[in-house]
Structure 1
Amino acid sequence: MKSFKSLLFLISVTTVFFACKKNNGDPFVEPEQIVPENPATFREVSTITLGTTGAAEISTYDPKTKKLFVVNNAVGSKVDVIDLSAFPTITKSQTLDFSTTSGVANSVAVSNGLLAVALEASIKTDNGAVAILNTSTLTETRRVTVGALPDMVTFSPDGNYIVTANEGEPNSNYTVDPVGSISVIDIKNNYSVRTLDFTSFESSLANLKAAGFRMYGLNATFAKDIEPEYVTIAADSKKAWVTLQENNAVAEVDLIAGTILRVVPLGVKDISLSANAFDISDQDNKMELGTWPVKAFYLPDAISMFSLNNVSYLALANEGDTRDYGAAFNEEVRVSALTLDPTRFPTAATLKLSANAGRLTVTRFNGDTDGDGDFDELYTTGGRSVSIINASNGQLVAEIGKDLEQRVIAAGKYDDGRSDNKGVEVEAVTVNKVNGQMIAFIGMERADMIAVYDVSNPMSPVFLQLFATGDAPEGLLYIKPKDSPNGRSILVVSSEGDGSVKLYQPDKI
């Protein structure tokens, strides 16, 4: 009898192992049940408006209580609680107010009945905090100090760590510039926290710059110039990747050891190549992608990690961003205002016309390669795309950019007034499995749209769908069928421009 039970146990373990091996070859990842849905058919099923500008930025969902938590900074520092238990009917049940104890709330995340809220300090250059609440009682159980301006918070998939990207932006007149950092909170170790900065990478600056890294702030050290933006974590909860938006790089973090392993520069995008064509003028009376003697720093905001066939990939939302602190420090300049090197730009006068490149926003801190006062290269800010890179070596695998903007133009949703600055402005990305397919949802802040691509073959993304959102979509949240209130996939889109939260579902197959 004992040997028979042992045989049954062995068969059971072997079955689970091979089922998990089929799930991207990771024996530690529980295979997801496939729900037959068409990922090309997402449509709006519910909506709620929480206020005006700034009223709906980032959201998170608790499957245990069927509550959606949405950052709302329209008035004060708040998180609205939305009840999805009667979905598709959704109602606001209450508001969590942090206004008396902190600056604004920047991000929220949920795991195992815990809600984490990233709170910047009342003086944003001071250290911020993560407030931790019980999702059932909504009482705050703990508050943990992290670095300055925690801009994004997330849990590791196993629920053992809370990780924040602490942007560490300067104050408005650039007289105080805190270090950028990443905080790792160990929940099982009594919420102990390690806040990691980038001081040790100072000696690597020359090599990093040669690969496209940017360090250019006022009186900057390496640690101060770093501005972490967004976090994604591997399925085994051992590593995190963090975008360093203004620096044009991604950092890899060992969560177990509590160390930053490396900084990966993202290089530049050559707009003189047809595959990378941009529309760079808002005054040419047309919406047309073209090639130009310009390079673009990618400058990613959101990041999403996914794995296929034992290879890990990172999807980067290349929004672009600049440092604009008025008279104190401003990197933005129009091409028309620059002196261009006559050898590098023999048709400079024509190039600088408003209908050509004259209106394009570029950075004044890159491009004078020989230090003689004129510009030998032009660098615009933002890749206007989603890049897919290999997480192990940082190599570019594919880019969803030209195709993305062409489809928005064809749909009549392109804002030509933004052609000179960020285009559709790719703000958000999240990659998740729908019906067994690896699907990328891409949020475009200026187009007010979501694009859906199948990235099951990461080297060859396939367009599926384009649909409208609220004004200026900021946060994307995918709810798996197993966690959903109706057993179906839900995409939650929070739009900061009009304070709306919209929920979309695909058709059943």
Structure 2
Amino acid sequence: MQKKPLLALLLAAALLNGCTDHFPQNPVQENTAAFREVADIDLGGTAAAEISAYDPISKRLFTVNNEKAAIVDVLDLSAFPAVTKLQPIDVSSLGGVANSVAISDGKLAIALEATNKQANGSVIVLNTSTLDVLQQITVGALPDMVTFSPDGRFIVTANEGEPNADYSIDPEGTVSIIDVSNNYSVKTLDFAGFESQYAALAPKGFRMFGPKATFAQDIEPEYVAISDNSQKAFVTLQENNGVAEIDLVNGKIVSLHALGTKDMNYILNSIDASDDDKKVELKNWPIKSFYLPDAISYFTVNGTPYVITADEGDAREYSTFDEQKRVSSLKLNPVYFPNGDELKKTANLGRLRVTSTRGDNEKDGVYEELYAFGGRGFSIFHAADMKRVYESGNSLEQEVIKAGIYDDSRSDDKGVEPEGVTVGWTNGKPVAFVALERVDAIAVYDLSNPGAPQFLQIIKTGDAPEGVLFITADKSPNGRSLLVTSNEEDGTVRFYQP
């Protein structure tokens, strides 16, 4: 009997295990340390390119564009690298702003907030070829992100439930699960049942601090990653510094995971804390920082599942409630900060933004601890128990500094501000693409060893990459891996290939 080649056996195994999304069928050998821009298109100005999704059936890219009205631009990639703009999808009459798009099996899902941002939003499902509307489903308030499960059965939205400007209306943050196979039936989950766990979660870094908010109101789901077997979802709760684990099949929240804090006094966690020191210098400081992740992505290595988070950091900033304070404006307890006056100088910690909601342990207006926003890097966790197996320390910012693109004007805030992350597969290896909003770049890492990712390159993008999308070689319009960035500030969509 003729022996089958090893690659054929591996591909067959991948197909049997339903892993075709993560094992490209086209065995193209590519240099993942050498992505270069091959095409771009300008869709307008600020907010003209936010999040994109690609349909391999129609070879179309769908990009959220909220510059003037709620539309989704349709880009034809069938002759790639030529990119042709087609008639956009106008959803402005169906609600407020479009926030996110996702695609599965010829279906396009659009997350649309309500005209009244605090009211329930919706998901609109269209045919990617005809653009006919198939369904509109009501979900929770402010659906900020939408995604399909790998098997296409579920559409999941993270409904952020942000308050209004004066914090007089604060809807509950929720997660909606839409069962496509059951006539788009929807189940929206709230977090009220976990209020009793807050006392145990808070010491581990979980935050609940909105004015007069219940636990369910204070939760703000941000981004969703779904397991390869389509059974679990992992949802970042950015402002709360946590991740929710959800059973999609049974439609229930399984657990909440607090993400802890990052000690900036540890030698490998040094940061530049000032935009007024006239230099870029990473130093250790007696502060901690909440990770506050934005995007999250799921991947598997050697049968072990992981999730990776972009630890952007975010603060609540409203007309009647702003948690941010400069260190220079705070009273520091001299027992804990014996050199407090020196720390409060603008060239040291004085300019750094910290939260006023933690650190005043005796509630007397004097701070015994200081907590900043964001990890200025990324984290990797075992998906089974959400134990952190890697945290990038200061290594990501070091690479940005080496590349000569670090923006010192953001040192007092959240540094390079990693916002987006996705994991793609090329050459049989998982590769992470981390979008750095404040330096207009993507950092690329080989995740073959999740406990020790290997830095590959920095890719310059358009202004403020909001969406980062990886298309595997077998689904790409030209048979090669394709990275797509949607850049919010300059309205461009840019395309990169190795």
Question: Match of 2:103?
Answer: 110
- Give the 3-state SS of the residue equivalent to 1:40 in structure 2: coil
Deviation at 1:20, TM superposition (A): 6.7
- Give the 3-state SS of the residue equivalent to 1:185 in structure 2: strand
Judge conservation of contact 1:20–1:28 (CA < 8 Å) in 2: no
Q: Distance in 2 between matches of 1:68 and 1:179?
A: 32
Q: Distance in 1 between matches of 2:47 and 2:280?
A: 30
Q: Distance in 2 between matches of 1:418 and 1:319?
A: 12
Structure 2 residue 414 is the aligned partner of structure 1 residue 422: yes
Once the two structures are overlaid, the 10-residue window that deviates more, 439-448 or 403-412, is 403-412
Residues 224-278 of structure 1: CA deviation (Å, up to 9, x unaligned) = 0000000010010000100000000000000000000000000000000011111
Structure 2 residue 309 is the aligned partner of structure 1 residue 316: yes
Residues 436-493 of structure 1: CA deviation (Å, up to 9, x unaligned) = 1211101100000111111100011111111210000000000111111111100000
Match 1:29 to one of 19, 35, 38: 19
Q: Distance in 2 between matches of 1:97 and 1:456?
A: 42
Structure 2 residue 268 is the aligned partner of structure 1 residue 275: yes
Deviation at 1:396, TM superposition (A): 1.3
Match 2:33 to one of 25, 37, 40: 40
Structure 2 residue 451 is the aligned partner of structure 1 residue 472: no
Judge conservation of contact 1:268–1:295 (CA < 8 Å) in 2: yes
Match 1:202 to one of 176, 195, 203: 195
Match 2:326 to one of 328, 334, 337: 334
Q: Distance in 2 between matches of 1:389 and 1:422?
A: 22
Q: Which amino acid aligns with 2:331?
A: T
Deviation at 1:209, TM superposition (A): 0.5
Question: Match of 2:87?
Answer: 94
Question: Match of 2:478?
Answer: 486
Deviation at 1:19, TM superposition (A): 3.3
Match 2:206 to one of 178, 200, 213: 213
Deviation at 1:132, TM superposition (A): 0.5
Judge conservation of contact 2:163–2:170 (CA < 8 Å) in 1: yes
- Give the 3-state SS of the residue equivalent to 2:316 in structure 1: coil
Q: Distance in 2 between matches of 1:346 and 1:22?
A: 62
Q: TM-score, normalised by structure 1?
A: 0.95
Judge conservation of contact 2:24–2:426 (CA < 8 Å) in 1: no
Deviation at 1:401, TM superposition (A): 4.2
Question: Match of 1:367?
Answer: 359
Q: Which amino acid aligns with 1:473?
A: P
Q: Which amino acid aligns with 2:422?
A: T
Unmatched tracts of structure 2, length 5 or more: none
Structure 2 residue 365 is the aligned partner of structure 1 residue 356: no
- CA gap 1:16/1:185 in 2 versus in 1, 3 angstroms: farther
- Give the 3-state SS of the residue equivalent to 2:345 in structure 1: coil
Residues 121-180 of structure 1: CA deviation (Å, up to 9, x unaligned) = 000000000001011111112100000000000000000000000000001111100000
Q: Which amino acid aligns with 1:404?
A: L
- Give the 3-state SS of the residue equivalent to 2:94 in structure 1: coil
Q: Distance in 2 between matches of 1:401 and 1:430?
A: 19
Judge conservation of contact 1:20–1:27 (CA < 8 Å) in 2: no
Q: Which amino acid aligns with 2:392?
A: I
- CA RMSD, Structure 1 to Structure 2 (Å): 1.8
- Give the 3-state SS of the residue equivalent to 2:395 in structure 1: helix
Q: Distance in 2 between matches of 1:442 and 1:321?
A: 17
Deviation at 1:100, TM superposition (A): 1.8
Match 2:447 to one of 455, 458, 461: 455
Match 2:49 to one of 33, 52, 56: 56
Deviation at 1:29, TM superposition (A): 2.2
Q: Distance in 2 between matches of 1:21 and 1:266?
A: 38
Judge conservation of contact 2:24–2:472 (CA < 8 Å) in 1: no
- CA gap 1:505/1:292 in 2 versus in 1, 3 angstroms: same
- Give the 3-state SS of the residue equivalent to 1:208 in structure 2: helix
- Give the 3-state SS of the residue equivalent to 1:205 in structure 2: helix
Question: Match of 2:160?
Answer: 167
Structure 2 residue 10 is the aligned partner of structure 1 residue 19: yes
- Give the 3-state SS of the residue equivalent to 2:92 in structure 1: coil
Judge conservation of contact 1:283–1:355 (CA < 8 Å) in 2: yes
Q: Distance in 2 between matches of 1:493 and 1:32?
A: 21
Match 1:413 to one of 405, 410, 427: 405
Q: Which amino acid aligns with 1:367?
A: G
Q: Distance in 2 between matches of 1:381 and 1:26?
A: 44
Question: Match of 2:112?
Answer: 119
Match 2:229 to one of 201, 213, 236: 236
Judge conservation of contact 1:17–1:27 (CA < 8 Å) in 2: no
- CA gap 1:16/1:278 in 2 versus in 1, 3 angstroms: closer
Deviation at 1:16, TM superposition (A): 11
- Give the 3-state SS of the residue equivalent to 2:181 in structure 1: helix
Judge conservation of contact 1:26–1:310 (CA < 8 Å) in 2: no
Q: Distance in 2 between matches of 1:95 and 1:142?
A: 18
Q: Distance in 1 between matches of 2:42 and 2:9?
A: 46
Deviation at 1:26, TM superposition (A): 8.6
Question: Match of 1:440?
Answer: 432
Question: Match of 1:130?
Answer: 123
Task: Provide the identity percentage.
Answer: 56
Judge conservation of contact 1:72–1:78 (CA < 8 Å) in 2: yes
Residues 354-386 of structure 1: CA deviation (Å, up to 9, x unaligned) = 000000000000001232321010000111111
Judge conservation of contact 2:24–2:473 (CA < 8 Å) in 1: no
- Give the 3-state SS of the residue equivalent to 2:93 in structure 1: coil
Q: Which amino acid aligns with 1:62?
A: D
Q: Which amino acid aligns with 1:395?
A: K
Question: Match of 2:238?
Answer: 245
Match 1:388 to one of 380, 394, 401: 380
Deviation at 1:503, TM superposition (A): 0.3
Residues 106-129 of structure 1: CA deviation (Å, up to 9, x unaligned) = 000010110000000000000000
Deviation at 1:99, TM superposition (A): 1.2
- Give the 3-state SS of the residue equivalent to 2:216 in structure 1: helix
Q: Which amino acid aligns with 1:234?
A: S
Deviation at 1:21, TM superposition (A): 9.5
Deviation at 1:101, TM superposition (A): 2.0
Deviation at 1:393, TM superposition (A): 1.6
Q: Distance in 2 between matches of 1:146 and 1:432?
A: 29
- CA gap 1:86/1:20 in 2 versus in 1, 3 angstroms: closer
Q: Which amino acid aligns with 1:238?
A: Q
- Give the 3-state SS of the residue equivalent to 1:123 in structure 2: coil
Structure 2 residue 169 is the aligned partner of structure 1 residue 179: no
Q: Which amino acid aligns with 2:146?
A: V
Q: Which amino acid aligns with 2:240?
A: N
- CA gap 1:497/1:103 in 2 versus in 1, 3 angstroms: same
Residues 196-236 of structure 1: CA deviation (Å, up to 9, x unaligned) = 01000001010010111000001011100000000010010
Q: Distance in 2 between matches of 1:17 and 1:229?
A: 39
Deviation at 1:37, TM superposition (A): 0.5
Question: Match of 2:143?
Answer: 150
Q: Distance in 2 between matches of 1:132 and 1:55?
A: 21
Judge conservation of contact 2:424–2:471 (CA < 8 Å) in 1: no
Once the two structures are overlaid, the 10-residue window that deviates more, 90-99 or 58-67, is 90-99
